[in-house]
């Protein structure tokens, strides 16, 4: 859809972004008069914007000096953005090699709360492809990427699922899911058919950083008729595990000898 820049802009939202930008450039601390002058707004309107952003944790007010600075939530959001950008930058060449080798679509996926987000993709050249997933979110328990990230994130993740049963709507059999996650934790790989759509097979393995923390998962999607068990076991899974190890090493991860 074509439109001129700013056609649907909401001025209060734009001013809120301008305010955050001002705090990011004014040595991280500023007074109400300074911000009102910089944004060309009245003090009352500036104060209302500040109060709204403070409620969201994006800014903080010093009760003693009356000055404002960026809040912890703003820094956390920035860290998530930087982390995702770094992950894509490092992962994309590995994904390209993997997709070229098998001529199947490869994605980088990350966990956001209890949802899987498909961040980046290298597509295959085949005529018959799985539906493009980039930018889409799915409940973790519905697909291989979410299951492998949850299973490999920490040893007590599986045990905590039972305690959070009430908050995980959509899971029909928590015991079955717990057993599946335990199996995935042992093998280090998750495979499912139909979780992301009829006839779609997904294979996922995790990426770890220097501290051994899971930062995401390499995920291959293909029509299930091309992902027979023999091909999965002899070709796809070993190749994906090797690629995941290479990518984890880029993040400083060192595998501890058995």
Q: How many domains does the chain have?
A: 2
Same domain for 163 and 58?
Answer: no
Average pLDDT over residues 85-104: 89
Task: Work out the angle between the directed axes of helices 32-39 and 11-25 (0-180°, nearest 10).
Answer: 120
Same domain for 107 and 49?
Answer: no
Cross-strand bridge partners of residue 130: none
Same domain for 44 and 107?
Answer: no
Q: What is the pLDDT of residue 129?
A: 72
| Residue 80 reports pLDDT greater than 90 | no
Full-model pTM = 0.65
| Residue 83 reports pLDDT greater than 80 | no
Single out the residue in 25, 41, 70 at which a domain terminates: 70
Task: Say if 63 falls within a structural domain.
Answer: yes
The whole domain housing 43 covers 11-70
Cross-strand bridge partners of residue 54: none
Considering 79-83, 122-126, 128-132, 190-194, the range whose residues carry the highest mean pLDDT is 190-194
Judged on CB neighbours under 10 Å (0-12, 13-18, 19+), 201 is buried
Q: What's the Cα-to-Cα distance from 154 to each of 3, 67, 94, 181, rounded to whole Å?
A: 47, 41, 25, 11
Judged on CB neighbours under 10 Å (0-12, 13-18, 19+), 69 is middle
Q: What is the pLDDT of residue 1?
A: 43
Same domain for 223 and 144?
Answer: yes
Task: Say if 84 falls within a structural domain.
Answer: yes
Same domain for 88 and 54?
Answer: no
Task: Say if 49 falls within a structural domain.
Answer: yes
Same domain for 44 and 165?
Answer: no
Task: Say if 118 falls within a structural domain.
Answer: yes
Task: Say if 255 falls within a structural domain.
Answer: no
Higher confidence at residue 34 or residue 88?
Answer: 34
Task: Read off the CATH number of the domain in which 48 is found.
Answer: 1.10.10.10
Q: What is the pLDDT of residue 5?
A: 43
Per-residue HEC secondary structure of 105-117 comes to EEEEEEEECCEEE
Same domain for 51 and 108?
Answer: no
| Residue 4 reports pLDDT greater than 60 | no
Task: Say if 75 falls within a structural domain.
Answer: no
Same domain for 148 and 43?
Answer: no
Q: What is the pLDDT of residue 157?
A: 64
Same domain for 155 and 45?
Answer: no
Same domain for 114 and 227?
Answer: yes
Task: Say if 5 falls within a structural domain.
Answer: no
């Amino acid at each position: 859809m074509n439109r001129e820049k700013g056609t649907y802009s909401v001025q209060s939202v734009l001013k809120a972004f301008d305010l955050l930008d001002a705090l990011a450039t004014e040595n991280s601390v500023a007074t109400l008069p300074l911000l009102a002058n910089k944004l060309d707004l009245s003090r009352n309107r500036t104060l209302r914007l500040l109060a709204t952003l403070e409620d969201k944790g994006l800014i903080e007010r010093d009760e003693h000096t009356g000055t404002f600075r960026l809040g912890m939530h703003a820094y956390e959001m920035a860290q998530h953005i930087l982390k995702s950008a770094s992950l894509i930058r490092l992962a994309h060449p590995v994904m390209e090699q993997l997709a070229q080798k098998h001529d199947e679509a490869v994605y980088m996926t990350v966990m956001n709360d209890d949802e899987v987000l498909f961040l980046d993709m290298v597509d295959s050249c085949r005529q018959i492809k799985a539906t493009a997933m980039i930018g889409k979110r799915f409940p973790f328990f519905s697909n291989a990427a979410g299951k492998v990230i949850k299973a490999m994130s920490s040893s007590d993740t599986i045990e905590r699922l039972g305690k959070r049963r009430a908050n995980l709507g959509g899971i029909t059999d928590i015991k079955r899911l717990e057993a599946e996650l335990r199996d995935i934790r042992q093998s280090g790989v998750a495979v499912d058919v139909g979780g992301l759509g009829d006839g779609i097979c997904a294979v996922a393995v995790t990426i770890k950083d220097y501290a051994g923390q899971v930062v995401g998962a390499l995920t291959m999607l293909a029509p299930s008729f091309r992902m027979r068990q023999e091909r999965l076991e002899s070709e796809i899974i070993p190749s994906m595990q090797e690629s995941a190890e290479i990518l984890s090493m880029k993040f400083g991860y060192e595998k501890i000898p058995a």
